[in-house]
């Protein structure tokens, strides 16, 4: 399914965007969106800081140029330039000299993951801090001298929050949503994997010509960005039938999916079919009102059913929200597994249709249309050694089910669920039956 996408292209995009210091606002997000605009024609919108969006307010734009903790010789013991996770997101500016005892309450460390730098933020409360690994923490703790502590940051109340948007108009008025978040700095699974996957899905849909559904692609900072987007597009978003929040789809672990709040929406069912037909034993995560932006899209005022295909879901892997979520943990081949599944789901949704039979009374005479084996009488007997004959009888089973259930009510997803036949086998045979004018799409498709 992903013949247009290669693992090497994904690896190149990961390497290019991994260093960007993404946050709720700022130049790292704009850098990211500018790279994505090389892949797809994104519209970039700027929502002004200080604007009320439902129960929230878009915070001031945050800029950081540099940060460090130096010893008395000027050696950087902690260096923002070495890893942008070293600074708590949205830290206010600091320039001071202090001992370890004075600094310690501002340090974040993970004793259970001594090599890891944790990821921490302080978006809505003015504060500051550094995140360090265990070795750095112990080195600071042993020292009796004063450190030079600097965070060269600034806030701009006249700034804005950047979001990316792409609408691909389809033949139908119904829309499907694909949303991802762009606010995490140098972490690969959460959520650079989602950013890259979403852009490549959009490019693929564009390349395939006019789709059936209209597809709305959204790149926003998590939580506040999704809320702001809903607030700015409230009437439009009420047209959205369902969709995906694309996140954490590139780890080393098993593939899985988080269900929508509905559980059996059309999107949920398409996702389950894609996994079933690839014989993937996926991890099923029932819906919970925690996690990512499904909380916003599925909130009471919108109730959009959105699902997530993941490969090491947030909260579920030890590297989560640390510097160990890096390009050693994530690569293009792993992300490509998720991309393939998403593309299968997209095609399932795009090609899904109910059909009506042109011969509803009695069964269709298949032989004169070249749809029945030349010799009869061997159905349900042991499989023939003749491979072609065996395939004919397999296809006859698909034909029989399609004709029996083509009453204008049962779409291909329903037929695939009921019969256990793979969706794409049903689709292939349905096209053959349409070419023989035996069935036609139902009028209300």
pLDDT for res 3: 54
Angstrom distance (rounded) from CA 369 to CA 372: 8
- Tally of helices (H runs) and strands (E runs) in the chain: 13, 19
Angstrom distance (rounded) from CA 276 to CA 278: 5
C-alpha neighbours within 13 Å on the C-beta side of residue 241? 14
- Bridge partners (DSSP) of residue 218 are 165, 179
Could you say which DSSP state residue 118 is in? Answer: B
- Residues 6+ away with beta carbon under 8 Å from 264: none
Give the CA radius of gyration of the chain.
26
pLDDT for res 170: 97
Would you write out the chain's pLDDT as a tens digit for each of its 445 residues? 455 899 999 999 999 999 999 999 999 999 999 999 999 999 999 999 999 999 999 999 999 999 999 999 999 999 999 999 999 999 999 999 999 999 999 999 999 999 999 999 999 999 999 999 999 999 999 999 999 999 999 999 999 999 999 999 999 989 999 999 999 999 999 999 999 999 999 999 999 999 999 999 999 999 999 999 999 999 999 999 999 999 999 999 999 999 999 999 999 999 999 999 999 999 999 999 999 999 999 999 999 999 999 999 999 999 999 999 999 999 999 999 999 999 999 999 999 999 999 999 888 888 888 787 754 544 554 555 444 444 555 889 999 999 999 999 999 999 999 999 999 999 999 999 999 999 999 987 6
- Bridge partners (DSSP) of residue 95 are 150
SS3 272: helix
The domain locations on the chain are 7-59+159-351, 62-155, 354-441
pTM of the model: 0.94
CATH number 3.50.30.90 is the correct assignment for the domain at 62-155? yes
pLDDT for res 380: 52
- Residues 6+ away with beta carbon under 8 Å from 229: 163, 165, 218, 220, 237
CATH of 7-59+159-351, one of 3.40.630.10, 3.40.50.150, 3.40.50.2300, 3.30.565.10: 3.40.630.10
Could you say which DSSP state residue 89 is in? Answer: B
Closest CA to 68 of 168, 13, 136: 136
pLDDT for res 369: 81
Angstrom distance (rounded) from CA 367 to CA 359: 14
pLDDT for res 381: 47
pLDDT for res 444: 72
Q: CA angle, 421 as apex, 417 and 425 as ends, to 5°?
A: 120
Give me the phi and psi of 35, to 5 degrees please: -65, -45
Angstrom distance (rounded) from CA 340 to CA 355: 27
pLDDT for res 445: 64
Angstrom distance (rounded) from CA 111 to CA 393: 62
């Amino acid at each position: 399914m992903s013949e247009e996408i290669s693992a090497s292209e994904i690896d190149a995009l990961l390497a290019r965007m991994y260093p960007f210091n993404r946050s709720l606002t700022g130049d790292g997000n704009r850098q990211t969106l500018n790279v994505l605009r090389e892949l797809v024609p994104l519209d970039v919108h700027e929502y002004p800081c200080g604007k009320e969006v439902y129960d929230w307010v878009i915070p001031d734009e945050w800029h950081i140029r540099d940060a460090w903790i130096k010893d008395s010789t000027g050696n950087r013991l902690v260096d923002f330039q070495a890893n942008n996770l070293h600074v708590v997101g949205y830290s206010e500016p600091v320039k001071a000299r202090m001992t370890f005892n004075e600094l310690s309450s501002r340090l974040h460390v993970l004793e259970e993951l001594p090599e890891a730098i944790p990821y921490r933020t302080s978006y809505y409360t003015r504060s500051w801090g550094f995140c360090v690994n265990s070795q750095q923490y112990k080195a600071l703790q042993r020292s009796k001298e004063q450190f030079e502590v600097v965070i060269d940051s600034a806030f701009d109340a006249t700034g804005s929050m950047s979001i990316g948007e792409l609408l691909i108009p389809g033949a139908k008025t119904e829309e499907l949503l694909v949303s991802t978040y762009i606010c995490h700095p140098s972490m690969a699974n959460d959520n650079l994997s989602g950013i890259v996957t979403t852009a490549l899905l959009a490019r693929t849909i564009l390349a395939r010509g006019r789709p059936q559904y209209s597809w709305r692609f959204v790149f926003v900072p998590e939580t506040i960005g999704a809320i702001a987007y809903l607030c700015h597009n409230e009437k439009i978003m009420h047209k959205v039938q369902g969709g995906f929040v694309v996140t954490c789809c590139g780890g080393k672990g098993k593939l899985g999916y988080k269900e929508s709040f509905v559980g059996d929406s059309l999107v949920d069912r398409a996702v389950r079919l894609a996994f079933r037909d690839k014989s993937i034993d996926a991890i099923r995560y029932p819906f919970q009102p925690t996690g990512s932006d499904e909380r916003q899209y599925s909130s009471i005022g919108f109730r959009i059913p959105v699902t997530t295909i993941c490969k090491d879901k947030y909260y579920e892997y030890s590297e989560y929200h640390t510097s160990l979520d890096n390009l050693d943990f994530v690569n293009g081949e792993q992300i490509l597994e998720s991309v393939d599944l998403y593309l299968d789901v997209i095609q399932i949704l795009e090609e899904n249709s109910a059909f009506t039979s042109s011969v509803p009374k009695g069964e269709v005479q298949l032989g004169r249309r070249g749809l029945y084996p030349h010799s009869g009488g061997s159905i349900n007997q042991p499989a023939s050694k003749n491979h072609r004959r065996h395939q004919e009888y397999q296809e006859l089973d698909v034909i029989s089910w399609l004709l029996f259930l083509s009453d204008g009510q049962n779409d291909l997803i329903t037929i695939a669920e009921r019969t256990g036949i793979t969706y794409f086998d049903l689709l292939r045979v349905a096209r053959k039956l349409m070419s023989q004018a035996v069935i036609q799409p139902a009028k209300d498709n």
